[in-house]
């Protein structure tokens, strides 16, 4: 009887009294966090409702860590001539200062996120890929880079590709992840 | 970002518009810098709670503006500032403790989830993760990469130590707080190393900001707070138990619903004891019976659009069934079954349900196509035709690089799906677009079957045998004497040209057998939407009807080799 009474008292104390609302909110957040950690997208019923991304994702580098660098390369059509491929170097070489100050990390992470987002829909074909926010952001970024280089205003369009490399591991060749269709440069 | 919020309220859209302007973004960040600086000043004013609230709210709002490029440290910052705001603004010690416990529990989750999830990754289990991450310029360090490459054993030991440290983080609550300092100190070293080697400096400060909450909750009650309230843990445990029970009940109800079968389901018991659920609409006796064979990890609901289309235009018979283990069909044992068993099952069912003098047309999607091709030989001249919808070919894993690559992790996915749904996590599954594309009356059942562990368990068993059989295939396909229609999805053709060659070989097997075979690529379709998208499936249905009209209509089957022979 004493054990039952004690258990009841513990439950009652957890569910009533000052701070009940805070405990309830904390409980909801903790359980929502647990419920959104599944790595397969099929189990995303709760994530889809998290408009402000308040529920954290704690699966850092797991189960499969990012083991490639992503690179954006592009070429342009200028007065009917196709240029060679050029790269946009987005990755800062590692420096000790990065421990304290590394604003370029945001841009690196953005490319990393976008590349992974595009890779997820690669098998859907370009009519789907080109409609995704990830792809459009990437394409607009390349367009802005092209425009910045277009001093004479002669560039008619561009084509970009997403490649991945094994970074410092020079024995592995880079691979093309996706070659985007030609895009006319709107003025 | 606006597209992600296309269905949000106008207020949220307006907020994003304001924040997305240069003035809005600059004002947001300047104000955050000012408030953050103020919080660094000494003092214990209640205004600190207001400052934390401001940083929490603006941090969450900024996430909608800067989704790309943000990371876990931003989420930690919002969590910690939210908790601190509540604790600082309240006079109740129980409110303060609930807020502190929330942050502490999130800290536990952050390490535990990350640690245990690593066990699912090959690189982590094998201890190569350090070397492979360090090789990248984005998150790596050339010097550390060279060292890890030169000394693989210590690198492996380090990887496993990190996994152990993270996975076992909750032991910090043991030994009356004596483990708090060594464990938190170890984690600080871990975060400092990540900051230096991986460029993750913000993680060092973000995660360290949760450590005081852990230290407060893990140690004995502090003299300054002797009545620390630990009931938030009880509340979480009670709610977790309640939700687990609810998820279990939902899974049980789903299982019962699936096993009951759809309206009109009949049952056929196989010689080995398996019970096959099927739906048979005999249609007009002078018309052939279309027999639908579903793909791997799919049920007969996938054929809903095509069956409806065909039946609304021609009085064909339609036989839909689920292989043993799928849908309402039951498998008596749980041993892997090869394709021959699936073929025997199909032939036995046809023999038991369809009049012997009726022609049948086998319609198979993906793996179902391969089963149909094999069954066509066994069923002999009862088969008036075979319709392949983006079919599998036994040589595809050997010859198609894309198929080989996608099959590499497929067994792991099936295993994860099977275990997750078995643990009741089906309640966390959302209705995917393909389910919403099905006819409305079939969606509930299609989703129930999809979220039930039996489908994934059956698929895993099936996949294990298919892998063995396909890997051993090194010859040409045997001739098939029935006419064939082969439909390839345009995206399959676009993304994997080798698959088109394989599909042509399937058609060629029919030509070698002296029968007519035609192939077509259906524009703007993919492997699954051939079946699940109403528009695409209607086109497929029209192709099937035309095929039936030319090759299978109005003729009686001449007796030859019978089902199950």
DSSP per-residue codes, B55-95: HHHHHHHHHHH--TT--HHHHHHHHHHHHHHHHHH---HHH
Contact call for A29 and B102, based on CB within 8 A: yes
pLDDT band at B561 (very low <50, low <70, confident <90, very high): very low
Contact call for B86 and A46, based on CB within 8 A: no
> Of the candidates B338, B493, B465, which has an alpha carbon nearest to the alpha carbon of residue B402?
B493
pLDDT band at A1 (very low <50, low <70, confident <90, very high): low
**Minimum mean pLDDT among A20-29, A34-43, B16-25, B69-78: which range?**
B16-25
Percent of the residues in chain A that have a pLDDT greater than 90, as a whole number: 47
Whether the pLDDT of residue B334 is over 80: the answer is no
Q: At what angle do helices B10-20 and B22-40 cross, to 10 degrees?
A: 80
What is the pLDDT, as a whole number, of residue B1?
61
| DSSP string across chain A | -HHHHHHHHHHHHHHSSTTHHHHHHHHHHHHHHHHT--SSGGG-TTGGG-TT--S----TT-SS----EEEEEEEEEETTEEPPPEEE---PPP-GGGGT--THHHHHHHHHHHHHHHHHTGGG-HHHHTTSHHHHHHHHHHHHHHHHH-SSS-EEEEEEEEEEE-TT-TTSPPEEEEEPPPEE---
Whether the pLDDT of residue B374 is over 90: the answer is yes
Task: Give me the phi and psi of B409, to 5 degrees please.
Answer: -100, 10
Partner residue opposite A62 with nearest CB, options B114, B197, B199: B114
What is the pLDDT, as a whole number, of residue B350?
96
What is the pLDDT, as a whole number, of residue A182?
93
* Chain A residues whose beta carbon lies within 8 Å of the beta carbon of residue B67: 53, 113
**Minimum mean pLDDT among A18-22, A179-183, B19-23, B53-57: which range?**
B19-23
Interface test with A, best of B92, B147, B428 (most A CBs within 10 A): B428
Interface test with B, best of A123, A135, A139 (most B CBs within 10 A): A123
**Is A23 at the interface with chain B, CB within 8 A?**
yes
- Across chain A, mean pLDDT equals 89
- Across chain B, mean pLDDT equals 92
Contact call for A42 and B417, based on CB within 8 A: yes
Does B564 or B450 have the greater pLDDT score? B450
Interface of A with B in 100-129 (CB under 8 A): 100-102, 105-110, 112-114, 122-125, 127
Whether the pLDDT of residue A187 is over 60: the answer is no
Percent of the residues in chain B that have a pLDDT greater than 90, as a whole number: 77
Mean pLDDT of the region A54-68: 91
Contact call for A64 and B121, based on CB within 8 A: yes
Identify the closest residue of chain B to A66 by CA–CA distance: B133
| pLDDT per position as a tens digit, B231-286 | 999 999 999 999 999 999 999 999 999 999 999 999 999 999 999 999 999 998 88
Contact call for A22 and B491, based on CB within 8 A: no
Whether the pLDDT of residue B380 is over 60: the answer is yes
Burial letters for B94-117: b for 16+ Cβ neighbours within 10 Å, e otherwise?
bbbbbbbbbbbbbbbbbbbbbbbb
Interface test with B, best of A29, A39, A62 (most B CBs within 10 A): A62
Half-sphere exposure of B39 (CA within 13 A, CB side): 19
Contact call for A54 and B102, based on CB within 8 A: no
What is the pLDDT, as a whole number, of residue B78?
95
Q: What letter does residue B2 receive in the DSSP assignment?
A: G
What is the pLDDT, as a whole number, of residue B471?
87
| DSSP string across B431-464 | --HHHHHS-HHHHHHHHHHHTSHHHHHHHHHHHH
* Chain B residues whose beta carbon lies within 8 Å of the beta carbon of residue A123: 491, 495, 526
**Is A50 at the interface with chain B, CB within 8 A?**
no
Contact call for B99 and A112, based on CB within 8 A: no
| pLDDT per position as a tens digit, A108-151 | 888 888 888 888 888 777 888 888 889 999 999 999 999 988 88
Whether the pLDDT of residue B409 is over 70: the answer is yes
What is the pLDDT, as a whole number, of residue A108?
87
| pLDDT per position as a tens digit, B292-312 | 999 999 999 999 999 999 888
| pLDDT per position as a tens digit, B59-93 | 998 888 888 888 999 999 999 999 999 999 999 99
Contact call for A45 and B427, based on CB within 8 A: yes
Identify the closest residue of chain B to A172 by CA–CA distance: B135
* Chain B residues whose beta carbon lies within 8 Å of the beta carbon of residue A59: 113-114, 117
**What's the rounded Cα separation, in Å, for the pair B134 and B149?**
10
| pLDDT per position as a tens digit, B139-158 | 999 999 999 999 999 999 99
Contact call for B67 and A53, based on CB within 8 A: yes
Number of neighbouring beta carbons within 10 Å of residue B139: 25
* Chain B residues whose beta carbon lies within 8 Å of the beta carbon of residue A58: 72, 109-111, 113-114
What is the pLDDT, as a whole number, of residue B563?
37
What is the pLDDT, as a whole number, of residue B218?
94
pTM comes to: 0.89
Partner residue opposite A65 with nearest CB, options B12, B61, B133: B133
Mean pLDDT of the region B206-223: 91
What is the pLDDT, as a whole number, of residue B3?
66
Contact call for B201 and A99, based on CB within 8 A: yes
pLDDT band at B4 (very low <50, low <70, confident <90, very high): low
pLDDT band at B565 (very low <50, low <70, confident <90, very high): very low
CA quadruple B367, B487, A127, B4: dihedral sign: negative
| pLDDT per position as a tens digit, B99-128 | 999 999 999 999 999 999 999 999 999 999
Whether the pLDDT of residue A180 is over 50: the answer is yes
Classify the complex by whether its ipTM is higher than 0.90, answering yes or no: yes
What is the pLDDT, as a whole number, of residue B289?
95
**What's the rounded Cα separation, in Å, for the pair B31 and B16?**
17
The answer to whether A53 and B61 have CB atoms below 8 angstroms apart is no
Mean pLDDT of the region B479-493: 94
Q: Which of A132-146, B160-174, B521-535 has the highest mean pLDDT?
A: B160-174
Does B80 or A107 have the greater pLDDT score? B80
Whether the pLDDT of residue B564 is over 70: the answer is no
pLDDT band at B347 (very low <50, low <70, confident <90, very high): very high
What is the pLDDT, as a whole number, of residue B535?
94
């Amino acid at each position: 009887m004493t054990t039952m009474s004690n258990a009841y008292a513990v439950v009652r104390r957890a569910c009533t009294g000052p701070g009940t609302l805070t405990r309830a909110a904390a409980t909801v957040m903790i359980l929502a966090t647990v419920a959104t950690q599944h790595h397969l997208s099929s189990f995303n019923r709760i994530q889809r409702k998290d408009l402000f991304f308040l529920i954290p994702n704690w699966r850092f580098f797991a189960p499969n860590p990012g083991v490639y660098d992503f690179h954006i390369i592009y070429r342009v059509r200028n007065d009917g001539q196709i240029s060679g491929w050029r790269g946009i170097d987005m990755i800062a070489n590692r420096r000790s200062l990065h421990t304290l100050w590394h604003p370029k990390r945001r841009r690196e992470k953005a490319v990393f996120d976008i590349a992974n987002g595009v890779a997820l829909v690669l098998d859907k074909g370009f009519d789907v890929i080109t409609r995704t926010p990830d792809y459009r952001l990437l394409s607009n970024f390349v367009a802005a880079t092209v425009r910045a280089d277009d001093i004479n205003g002669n560039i008619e369009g561009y084509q970009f590709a997403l490649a991945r490399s094994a970074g410092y591991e020079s024995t592995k060749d880079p691979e093309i992840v996706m070659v985007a269709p030609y895009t006319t440069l709107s003025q | 970002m606006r597209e992600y919020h296309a269905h949000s309220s106008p207020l949220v859209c307006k907020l994003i518009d304001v924040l997305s302007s240069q003035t809005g973004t600059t004002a947001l960040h300047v104000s955050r810098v000012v408030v953050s600086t103020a919080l660094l000043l000494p003092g214990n004013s209640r205004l600190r709670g207001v400052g934390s609230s401001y940083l929490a709210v603006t941090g969450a709002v900024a996430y909608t503006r800067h989704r790309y490029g943000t990371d876990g440290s931003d989420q930690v910052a919002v969590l910690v500032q939210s908790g601190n705001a509540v604790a600082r603004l309240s006079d109740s010690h129980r409110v303060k403790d609930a807020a502190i416990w929330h942050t502490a529990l999130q800290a536990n989750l952050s390490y535990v989830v990350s640690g245990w999830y690593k066990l699912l990754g090959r690189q982590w289990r094998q201890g190569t993760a350090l070397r492979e991450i360090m090789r990248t310029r984005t998150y790596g360090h050339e010097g550390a990469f060279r060292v890890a490459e030169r000394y693989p054993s210590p690198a492996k030991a380090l990887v496993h130590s990190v996994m152990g440290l993270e996975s076992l983080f909750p032991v910090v609550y043991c030994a009356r707080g004596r483990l708090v300092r060594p464990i938190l100190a170890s984690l600080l070293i871990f975060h400092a190393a990540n900051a230096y080697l991986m460029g993750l400096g913000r993680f060092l400060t973000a995660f360290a900001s949760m450590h005081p909450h852990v230290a407060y909750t893990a140690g004995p009650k502090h003299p300054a707070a002797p009545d620390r309230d630990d009931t938030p843990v009880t509340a979480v445990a009670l709610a977790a138990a309640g939700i687990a029970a609810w998820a279990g009940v939902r899974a049980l109800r789903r299982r019962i619903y699936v096993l009951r079968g759809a309206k009109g389901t009949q049952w056929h018991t196989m010689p080995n004891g398996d019970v096959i659920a099927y739906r048979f609409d005999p249609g007009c006796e002078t018309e052939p019976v279309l027999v639908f064979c579903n793909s791997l990890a799919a049920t007969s609901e996938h054929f809903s659009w095509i069956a409806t289309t065909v039946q609304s235009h021609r009085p064909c018979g339609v036989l839909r069934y689920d292989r043993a283990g799928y849908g309402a069909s039951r498998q008596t044992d749980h041993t892997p079954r090869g394709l021959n068993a699936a073929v025997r099952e199909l032939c036995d069912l046809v023999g038991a349900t369809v009049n012997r003098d009726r022609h049948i047309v086998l319609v198979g999607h993906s793996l179902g196509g391969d089963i149909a091709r094999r069954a066509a030989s066994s069923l002999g001249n009862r088969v008036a035709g075979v319709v392949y919808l983006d079919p599998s070919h036994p040589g595809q894993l050997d010859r198609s690089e894309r198929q080989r690559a996608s099959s590499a992790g497929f067994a792991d996915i099936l295993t994860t799906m099977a275990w997750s749904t078995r643990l009741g996590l089906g309640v966390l599954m959302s209705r995917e677009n393909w389910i919403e594309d099905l006819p409305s009356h079939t969606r509930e059942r299609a989703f129930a079957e999809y979220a039930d562990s039996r489908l994934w368990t059956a698929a895993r068993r099936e996949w294990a045998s298919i892998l063995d059989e396909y890997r051993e295939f090194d010859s040409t396909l045997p001739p098939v004497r029935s006419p064939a229609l082969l439909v390839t999805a345009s995206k399959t053709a676009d993304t994997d040209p080798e698959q088109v060659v394989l599909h042509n070989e399937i058609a060629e097997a029919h030509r070698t057998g002296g029968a007519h075979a035609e192939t077509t690529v259906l524009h703007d379709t993919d492997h699954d939407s051939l079946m699940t998208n109403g528009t695409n499936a209607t086109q497929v249905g029209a192709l099937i009807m035309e095929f039936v009209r030319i090759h299978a209509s109005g003729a009686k089957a001449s007796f030859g080799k019978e089902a199950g022979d």
